[in-house]
C-alpha cells in the first residue's frame, strides 16, 4: 500500500530539461520510479535519460498514461505549470520549486481543490514510498520499506529522521515533505488521515516547525480520530519571533506559531513528543 504514490504511479516531470529536472529525473529512475514523460514547452520530441519530452502536459498524458506530476519549473512559471498539471487531473502534483509567490500558491491550491486533485508543496522535497515510487529530490539510499509513515515540513531534517529510522530497522510506508512555504497544498491533517487509513502504516511520525497553526490543527485531529501511534518532533524551539528561519513559512508572528505551543498541543492530543531528532526512532520502536 503506502500513500499518494505507489508501484502504479506513472510520473510526468515538468521542467525535465533543466539542470535540476534532468538530474533528479535520473535519480528517480534509479530509484525505480516509472518516469514516463517529461514536459518542456518548445522542446517536444527531445529525450532526457530515455524519457520522451513533450510540449504540453495534455499530449504527454495522452501518449504515456502519466498520472502524477513532479514540477521543477522556475518560480515565475510554476503557477502555470501546476495549473496545467491540474487541468489534466494528474494526482498528486508534487511541486519542488522554491520561491513561488504566495498569491500564486493560493490560486494553485484552490484550483487543485476544485479539481479534486492533491498538490504536495511547493518548496518541498517530494514523496517517497520505498520499493515503489519516489517523486522529488530525497536521497535514494536512505529508505527501506516498512510500517512507518513520516510527514514533515522540511527536507534535510526529513532525511535525518528517515536515516535514523532505517538504521534502527524501522522501514517506511511513505515519507513526504509538505513544503516550507506559508501556503502549501496537502496539510499535516490530510497526510495523517491518509496514513491512518493505510494498512501498511502502523505508526506515524510528524516533523513540524515554527510558523502557522497546521501542527496544532493536525494534533486536534489526531486526538479526536487517529488510533495509530503518532510520534512528533518540532524544530525551532530557539527561533526568535518575527525572523524567517530559512523557510518562508517558518516565522513566529506575534504569539502564533511557536514551537512550545505546537509541542503542547501535540502532547495534549496524546502524541509522543520528543526533543531531539535522534529520539524519534526509539519512540516509534516503543510505540510499535
Partner 1 sequence: MKLHEFQAKEIFARYGIPVQRGAVIERPEEIDRLEVPYPVVLKAQVLVGGRGKAGGIKLAADPAEARAKAAQILGMDIKGERVRRLLVVQAADIGVEYYLAFTVDRAARRLVCVASAAGGIDIEDVARTAPEKIVKFHVDPFAGFQPFQARGIAKQLGFGGKALLQFAAIASALARLCTEMDAELAEINPLAASAGDGTLLAIDAKLVIDDNATFRHDGLPRNEELTELEAAARAADLSYVELDGDVAIIGNGAGLVMSTLDMIAHFGGRPANFLDVGGGATTENMAQAMEIVLRKPGVRALFINIFGGITRCDDIARAIAARPPKVPMVVRLTGTNEAEGRAILEAAKIHAYVEPEPAAQEAVRLARA
Q: Report the distance separating Cα 133 and Cα 20, nearest Å.
A: 19
Nearer residue to partner 1 within complex by CB, 76 or 286: 76
What span, in angstroms and rounded, lies between the C-alpha atoms of 128 and 74?
A: 22
Catalytic positions? 247
CB closer to partner 1, 61 vs 73: 73
C-beta closer to partner 1: residue 225 or 260: 260
Please say whether the beta carbons of 236 and 245 come within 8 A: yes
Q: How far is the CB of 39 from partner 1 (least distance, A)?
A: 22
Quickly tell me which residue has 494498512 as its cell: 199
Please state the closest distance from residue 175 (CB atom) to partner 1, in A.
Answer: 13
Closer to partner 1 by Cβ: residue 54 or 159:
159
The dihedral through the CA atoms of 199, 202, 207, 208 has a sign that is positive
Q: Which residues bind partner 1 (CB under 8 A)?
A: 75-76, 99-107, 109-110, 125, 137-139, 152-160, 163, 180, 182-184, 207, 209-214, 217, 233, 235-240, 243-250, 254-255, 259, 275-278
**What minimum distance in Å lies between the beta carbon of 156 and partner 1?**
3
Residues counted in the chain: 288
With 0-12 CB in 10 A as exposed, 13-18 as middle and 19+ as buried, what is 125? buried
**Among residues 119 and 133, whose Cβ is nearest to partner 1?**
119
H or E stretch covering 72: none
Rounded least distance, CB 176 to partner 1, Å: 14
Query: What is the smallest separation between the CB atom of 64 and partner 1, expressed in angstroms?
Result: 27
Dist CA 18 CA 133 (whole Å): 22
Amino acid at each position: 500500500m503506502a500513500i499518494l504514490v505507489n508501484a502504479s504511479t506513472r510520473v510526468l516531470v515538468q521542467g525535465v530539461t533543466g539542470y535540476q529536472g534532468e538530474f533528479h529525473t535520473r535519480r528517480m529512475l534509479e530509484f525505480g520510479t516509472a518516469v514516463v514523460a517529461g514536459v518542456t514547452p518548445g522542446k517536444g520530441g527531445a529525450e532526457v535519460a530515455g524519457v520522451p519530452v513533450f510540449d504540453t502536459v495534455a499530449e504527454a498524458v495522452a501518449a504515456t498514461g502519466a498520472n502524477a506530476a513532479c514540477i521543477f519549473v522556475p518560480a515565475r512559471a510554476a503557477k502555470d505549470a501546476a495549473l496545467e498539471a491540474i487541468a489534466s487531473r494528474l494526482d498528486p502534483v508534487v511541486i519542488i520549486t522554491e520561491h513561488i509567490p504566495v498569491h500564486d500558491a493560493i490560486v494553485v491550491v484552490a484550483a487543485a481543490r476544485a479539481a479534486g486533485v492533491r498538490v504536495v508543496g511547493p518548496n518541498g522535497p517530494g514523496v517517497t514510498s520505498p520499493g515503489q515510487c519516489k517523486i522529488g529530490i530525497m536521497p535514494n539510499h536512505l529508505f527501506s520499506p516498512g510500517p512507518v509513515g513520516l510527514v514533515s515540513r522540511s527536507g534535510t531534517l526529513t532525511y535525518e529522521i528517515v536515516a535514523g529510522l532505517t538504521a534502527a530497522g524501522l522501514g517506511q510506508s511513505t515519507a513526504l515533505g509538505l513544503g516550507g512555504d506559508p501556503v502549501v497544498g496537502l496539510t499535516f491533517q490530510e497526510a495523517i488521515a491518509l496514513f491512518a487509513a493505510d494498512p501498511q502504516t502502523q505508526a506515524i511520525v510528524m516533523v513540524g516547525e515554527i510558523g502557522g497553526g497546521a501542527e496544532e490543527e493536525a494534533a486536534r485531529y489526531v486526538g479526536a480520530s487517529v488510533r495509530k501511534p503518532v510520534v512528533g518532533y518540532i524544530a525551532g524551539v530557539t527561533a526568535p519571533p518575527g525572523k524567517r528561519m530559512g523557510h518562508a513559512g517558518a516565522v513566529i508572528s506575534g504569539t502564533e506559531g511557536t514551537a512550545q505551543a505546537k509541542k503542547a498541543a501535540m502532547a495534549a492530543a496524546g502524541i509522543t513528543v520528543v526533543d531531539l531528532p535522534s529520539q524519534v526512532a526509539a519512540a516509534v520502536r516503543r510505540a510499535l
